[in-house]
């Protein structure tokens, strides 16, 4: 099973293999590259988000115990906040457990450099926003032509029979892994609206909707693109002749074929903006305010314990150390369908 999960992760490239999840995000950029992500995601209480069991004690006294769902939820949210990379601070974080066992998470994350942002538990997403040439700004999610082709070591040419056998083996490998892949992504849907400075002059792979560049990953469409790419004899033979395999960490040929089926003939997702690059929001002011509120927010959410006041002092009225708030604010929707409307 572990090998099949690994293969699933490789085939998905930079996308998150984290079970069935759905999400929406609004990403706003300033011309200097600073920005914020306002997002909502519903994810399951299962790896890699969290673990249903934990080890208590050490050595001979170690015992594996079940972790209550509410504790799993807090562990997952705490990891999302603390282990995400490239995030300067968070604000307006809320979460709750839904009736179907998923966790609904909402929050705002601030970043200085979009290329360094990696939202836990993903470790591979690396996008870019900034200036590539004078007078324009670029947003890059996938632009294969910018990647240097990998150098493959010289190898003996394959006979027709050897090539056919390898093709059969690779497809069999995929068919064995496909149930795991399908289970992981069949209900996945991620929609991100990028709000950029200036006017988009060139756009590929995005949809222009309501003044935003929208990028969507639909699990069923992705699964079909993967099926079609593996069924494509030309793509698979090119992969084999390039020395690649569906179990490799790099799948340039198949990944490119999947991207083409998802985002058009070139399989590229990028945009170039020109014009008036107006500042969308005061990054420093919002970050400073969010940083000040962050410690109290974490205590209110039950993700951190309040710091004890100095000896002889009593917490002031309204201090979270005196009366911690509940985990779930009243404004969150009642448990129901995951992200209705997606």
What is the pLDDT tens value at each position of the chain, 342 positions in all?
233 334 444 444 444 444 467 899 999 999 999 999 999 999 988 887 888 888 888 888 888 889 999 999 999 999 999 999 999 999 999 999 998 889 999 999 999 999 999 988 876 666 899 998 889 999 998 765 444 445 555 566 889 999 999 999 999 988 988 888 887 778 888 899 999 999 999 999 899 888 899 999 888 888 898 899 999 999 999 889 988 888 665 566 777 888 888 888 777 889 999 999 999 999 999 999 999 999 999 999 999 999 877 766 666 665 555 544 444 444 444 444 445 444
Is there a domain that residue 161 lies in? yes
Secondary structure class of 86 (helix, strand, coil)? coil
What residues contact residue 312 under an 8 Å CB cut-off, 6+ apart?
Answer: none
Is there a domain that residue 127 lies in? yes
Task: Count how many residues are written for the chain.
Answer: 342
Is there a domain that residue 99 lies in? yes
What single DSSP character describes residue 20? S
Is there a domain that residue 78 lies in? yes
pLDDT at 125: 63
How far is the C-alpha of 341 from the C-alpha of 136, rounded, in Å? Answer: 35
Q: In the chain, which residue ranges form alpha helices assigned H by DSSP?
A: 2-11, 69-83, 160-185, 219-231, 233-241, 252-263, 283-300
Q: Are 174 and 246 in contact (CB under 8 A)?
A: yes
Is there a domain that residue 342 lies in? no
pLDDT at 327: 46
Strands 22-29 vs 189-195: parallel, antiparallel or unpaired: parallel
How far is the C-alpha of 167 from the C-alpha of 171, rounded, in Å? Answer: 6
* Domain that includes residue 251, residue range: 2-53+65-300
- Backbone torsions φ then ψ of 104, nearest 5 degrees: -100, 120
pLDDT at 197: 95
Taking residue 158's Cβ as centre, other Cβ atoms within 10 Å add up to: 14
Among the listed residues 92, 103, 86, the one whose alpha carbon sits nearest the alpha carbon of residue 34: 86
Q: Are 120 and 83 in contact (CB under 8 A)?
A: yes
What residues contact residue 294 under an 8 Å CB cut-off, 6+ apart?
Answer: 89, 90, 91
How far is the C-alpha of 184 from the C-alpha of 43, rounded, in Å? Answer: 11
Q: Are 106 and 80 in contact (CB under 8 A)?
A: no
Is there a domain that residue 332 lies in? no
Q: Exposed (0-12), middle (13-18) or buried (19+): which is 136, by Cβ within 10 Å? A: middle
Is there a domain that residue 337 lies in? no
Is there a domain that residue 312 lies in? no
pLDDT at 184: 75
Q: Are 239 and 247 in contact (CB under 8 A)?
A: no
Structural domain count of the chain = 1
Secondary structure class of 138 (helix, strand, coil)? strand
Q: Give this prediction's pTM.
A: 0.78
Among the listed residues 221, 124, 236, 217, the one whose alpha carbon sits nearest the alpha carbon of residue 182: 221
Among the listed residues 134, 90, 114, 105, the one whose alpha carbon sits nearest the alpha carbon of residue 194: 114
pLDDT at 244: 84
């Amino acid at each position: 099973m572990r090998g099949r999960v690994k293969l699933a992760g490789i085939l998905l490239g930079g996308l998150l293999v984290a079970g069935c999840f759905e999400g929406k995000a609004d990403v706003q950029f300033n011309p200097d590259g600073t920005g914020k992500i306002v997002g909502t995601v519903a994810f399951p209480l299962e790896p890699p988000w969290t673990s249903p069991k934990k080890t208590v004690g050490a050595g001979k006294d170690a015992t594996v115990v079940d972790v209550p769902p509410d504790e799993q939820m807090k562990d997952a949210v705490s990891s999302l906040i603390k282990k995400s990379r490239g995030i300067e601070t968070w604000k307006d974080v809320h979460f709750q457990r839904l009736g179907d066992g998923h966790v609904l998470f909402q929050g705002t994350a601030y970043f200085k450099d979009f290329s360094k942002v990696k939202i836990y538990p993903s470790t591979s997403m690396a996008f870019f926003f900034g200036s590539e040439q004078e007078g324009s700004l670029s947003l890059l999610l996938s632009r294969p032509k910018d990647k240097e082709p990998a150098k493959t070591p010289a190898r003996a040419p394959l006979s027709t029979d050897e090539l056919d056998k390898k093709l059969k083996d690779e497809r069999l490998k995929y068919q064995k892994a496909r149930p795991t892949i399908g289970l992981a992504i069949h209900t996945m849907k991620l929609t991100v609206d990028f709000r950029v400075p200036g006017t988009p002059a060139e756009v590929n792979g995005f949809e222009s909707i309501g003044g935003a560049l929208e990028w969507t990953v639909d699990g069923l469409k992705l699964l079909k693109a993967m099926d079609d790419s593996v069924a494509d004899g030309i793509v698979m033979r090119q992969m084999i002749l390039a020395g690649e395999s569906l179990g490799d960490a790099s799948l340039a040929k198949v990944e490119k074929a999947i991207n083409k089926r998802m985002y058009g003939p070139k399989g590229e997702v990028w945009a170039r903006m020109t014009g008036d690059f107006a500042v969308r929001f005061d990054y420093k002011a919002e970050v400073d305010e969010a940083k000040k509120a962050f410690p109290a927010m974490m205590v209110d959410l039950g993700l951190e314990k309040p710091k004890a006041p100095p000896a002889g002092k009593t917490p002031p009225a309204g201090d979270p150390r005196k009366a911690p708030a509940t985990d779930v604010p009243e404004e969150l929707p009642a448990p129901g369908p995951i992200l209705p409307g997606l």
